[in-house]
Structure formats: structure tokens, C-alpha cells
Structure 1
Amino acid sequence: MIYLQTHLVVIAVVVVVLAAVVAYLCVMGARRLDRLHQRILANRDALSRLLVRRASETLLLAREDALGARAGTCLTEVANASVADSADQLSCDGLDRRSGAAPASDPVDVRRCLEKASALSRAIRDALDDDTRRQLAAREPARARLEALDATCYRIQLARSAHNTDVTQVRSLRGTALVRVFHLAGHAPEPEPIDFDDDTRYDGRGY
């Protein structure tokens, strides 16, 4: 009888310990998912602001004589088209619900916004070849405007890369048995990567 009671106590202790371990893993997993979701949203906000800034800086640079009338006009038209679109329409996964019960973004609007972002990247890449860059760098305020645009373009690449890395981590985490069994992701939709051409250097060399 004493042996049986001892055995039951041991089993009970093991069960409690296992339950505590599982609970701890669930809490840590849920917190990690939440942190990743928040980072994704923060990177989207940053990317939205940077895309608007890039368009504005492109408009300033397009006024420089070193670009030539044709390149300047092309940059102006593409940048204006980019500004006219909502820079918030970067994903239609519905992850962002901070503004209330707003519906997910229209996939058509998202696709159009990303296409215009890609178009501006290509326009910048085509207009700012090595010779044009040297001419712009030789005078002020063209040099400062070029440096500001390059810095913003680089930050766009960083923000998009960080966003997509976090999306990959979330998808991997959501695929684990612990998250699936205990529904740790809740009702949060699965985030989607943001894909568009963000390379703005001549011949696609990037940074």
C-alpha cells in the first residue's frame, strides 16, 4: 500500500512538472509570436513612411539640371504616381487591426501600390547611372539630395528585409506542433511577405 501511494505521488509530481513545462513553453511561444507580430507591424509602418519619403526626395532631386529634362520628367511622373497611392497598402493579410475592425486591404490596391513602388525603384535606377551620379555629386544642393535619397533607399531595403525575415520566423513558429495544438497564434492571420523591386542602384548592383 505504501509503495502504491509513493508511486502515485511520483506520477502526480511528474504530471505537475510536465504541465508546468508545457505551460511555460506555451507562454514563451505566445509571447514570441506576439513580439514578432508587433515587429512586423512596426516594420510595415517604417516602410510606409520611407516609401513616402523616397518619393518626396525623388521629386526634389528631379529638379536638378544634371538629370536632364527627360529623366527629370520621368522621375517626377513616377514619383507623383507613387505618392498618389496610399503607402499603407503594403499587405492584404489583415494582420493590422489596431485601427479597429477595419477590413483587410484590397489585394488589387496592394498590388497596385507595390507595382508603383517597383516602378519608382526602376525609374531611379535608370535615371541615376554612374555618370549622372558623378555630375550630381559635384554640386550642391544636388549632392545632398542624392545622398538623402540613397540613404532612404537603403533604409527601405533594410526595413523590407527585416519585415520578411520576421514573417519567415512567424510562419516557421506557427508550423510547430506546440503552436498548432494549443492555438497559440489565436485568431491572428498568417502574415505575408512584402515583395517589390527595391534595388535603386544602376545595373542592379544594390548596396
Structure 2
Amino acid sequence: MTWSETTVLALVAAAVVAWVLWVAASRLDRLHRKVMASRLALDAQLVRRASAAVDLAASGELDPASSVLLAEAAHSVLDDEDDALRLADQVPGLVVPRDAPPRRLLGGMAESRALAESDLTATLRSVLEDADEVAELRSAPAGDELVGTLAAAWYRAQLARRFHNEAVAQAQRVRRKWWVRLFHLAGHAPMPATVELDDAAPDGLARPAASATAPD
């Protein structure tokens, strides 16, 4: 084999390797975008759940003590700006304030926000744990609408978190491949992280209609 033929073969092999790496890097980029899209969808569903909890607390359908506790827990979620700023830092095209917190794991959730969400879940469970009381709430049209809205938002939030964590697991599996690490195909993108929080609904809260089987 001549020197020119060897050179051509080497160039072809290098081109094939470069193309394969480019395809792999593109796929990884799509996975990262999928993680962020699912994370933003989860955030929207959790905000809906908190808003529904605020509406229930302000409705007058609950006893005063439960209303106060539920309103405080829901507002703790809605007032947590740290997580929103961190998310904005990872979405191209959004303006981030100079004092925004540093970037954390891709798609993860700030600890303060996760704790606030878990506290809201625990408060909702304590308020709605009695199936008879939930049935009494649903006996009135206003109460039935409030509870139904909360149940639907809660269920969608659970689905959104499941979809997000599945997207994260898929991205993590690719990130752990030896060739991804060897050629630094992930660049400077942080490792995707799942969202872990307590979102178990109480037994007394009926599951919404089957039409609400996927987050918006």
C-alpha cells in the first residue's frame, strides 16, 4: 500500500470517527434538552398544585387552622425564587440577574424548593387524610370543584416528575459511557439529576379522570 493510499484511508477513518462522535454529541445534547423541557414541565405542574392548594385554603371550606397551615405551605412553594432563577440560568435566551445562584445539576431542584414541596404534600395529606371529610367537601359544588382541581394538578405533577426522572436516567446512562467521558462529549454541561420529593397523595383524594394522564 502506497503512502498516498495510507493517507486517504487514515483521513476516511478520521472522518468516520468524527461523524460518529458528532452524532453521539448531538444525541446527548437532545437528551439534555429533553431533561430541561421535562423539568420545566414539572415546575409548571407543581406551581399549579400549589395554586390549587391556595384556592382551597382561601375558599372557607376548611377549618381556620387548616386553612392557615395550608396557605403558608403553598406560599412557601410559590415564593421560592431560587429555583426559578437557577432554571433560567440553564434555558437559552432567558435573562438571568447578576445575583442569580450558581448552576447546579442539570434538571435538579434546589433543596429549599424540594423541602417546600414535600412540606406542602405533608400538609395536604394531613388536611385531606380523612376520606369522610373529603367526601363532605365534595358534597358542595364549590368544594367539589376545588378538590377536583387539586387532585388533577397533583396527579399531573406526579406524572411530570416520573417523566422527568426517566429522562434524567436515560441521559445519565449515556453520560456514563466510556467514549462519552473519553472524548468529553458532554462538554461543560452538569450531570443531569433527578427530582426527589414527597408527592404521595392521600388515600382520601380520589384519582382524577383518566383523561388527565399526561402533563401539559
Please, what TM-score do these two structures have when normalized by structure 2? 0.76
Instruction: Find the aligned partners of 2:159 and 2:151 in 1 and give their Cα distance.
Output: 12
Instruction: Find the aligned partners of 1:150 and 1:204 in 2 and give their Cα distance.
Output: 7
Please name the residue that 2:81 is paired with. 86
1:118-162 CA distances to partner (integer Å, 9 max, x unpaired)?
A: 000111112112112211222212111111111111111122222
**Structure 2 unaligned runs (5+)?**
209-216
Instruction: Find the aligned partners of 1:146 and 1:35 in 2 and give their Cα distance.
Output: 38
Name which one, 1 or 2, has greater alpha-carbon Rg: 1
1:52-110 CA distances to partner (integer Å, 9 max, x unpaired)?
A: 22221111112445532332222122112222222735979x97153467652589x92
Instruction: Find the aligned partners of 1:23 and 1:44 in 2 and give their Cα distance.
Output: 31
Q: 1:96 aligns with which of 79, 86, 90?
A: 90
Q: Is 1:49–2:44 an aligned residue pair? A: yes
Instruction: Find the aligned partners of 2:113 and 2:171 in 1 and give their Cα distance.
Output: 24
* Distance verdict in 2 for CA 1:206–1:29, change over 3 Å: farther
Instruction: Find the aligned partners of 1:125 and 1:46 in 2 and give their Cα distance.
Output: 23
Give 1:167-186 correspondences, 5 Å limit.
167-186=168-187
Instruction: Find the aligned partners of 1:169 and 1:95 in 2 and give their Cα distance.
Output: 23
* Distance verdict in 2 for CA 1:192–1:148, change over 3 Å: same
* Distance verdict in 2 for CA 1:103–1:68, change over 3 Å: closer
Instruction: Find the aligned partners of 1:193 and 1:91 in 2 and give their Cα distance.
Output: 15
Deviates more, 1:41-50 or 1:96-105: 96-105
- What one-letter code is carried by the residue in structure 1 that aligns with 2:154? C
Number of aligned residue pairs: give it: 200
Q: Is 1:123–2:111 an aligned residue pair? A: no
Q: Is 1:77–2:75 an aligned residue pair? A: no
Structure 1 residue 38: deviation in Å?
1.0
Please name the residue that 1:113 is paired with. 113
RMSD (Å) for aligned C-alpha atoms: 3.4
**Structure 1 unaligned runs (5+)?**
none
Deviates more, 1:98-107 or 1:168-177: 98-107
Q: Is the 8 A contact 2:138 2:144 kept in 1?
A: yes
Identity of aligned residues (%): 34
Q: Is the 8 A contact 2:48 2:153 kept in 1?
A: yes
Instruction: Find the aligned partners of 1:139 and 1:128 in 2 and give their Cα distance.
Output: 16
Instruction: Find the aligned partners of 2:172 and 2:125 in 1 and give their Cα distance.
Output: 33
Instruction: Find the aligned partners of 1:106 and 1:127 in 2 and give their Cα distance.
Output: 34
Please name the residue that 2:212 is paired with. none
Q: Is the 8 A contact 1:44 1:90 kept in 2?
A: no
* Distance verdict in 2 for CA 1:25–1:205, change over 3 Å: farther
Instruction: Find the aligned partners of 2:37 and 2:205 in 1 and give their Cα distance.
Output: 28
Instruction: Find the aligned partners of 2:196 and 2:154 in 1 and give their Cα distance.
Output: 15
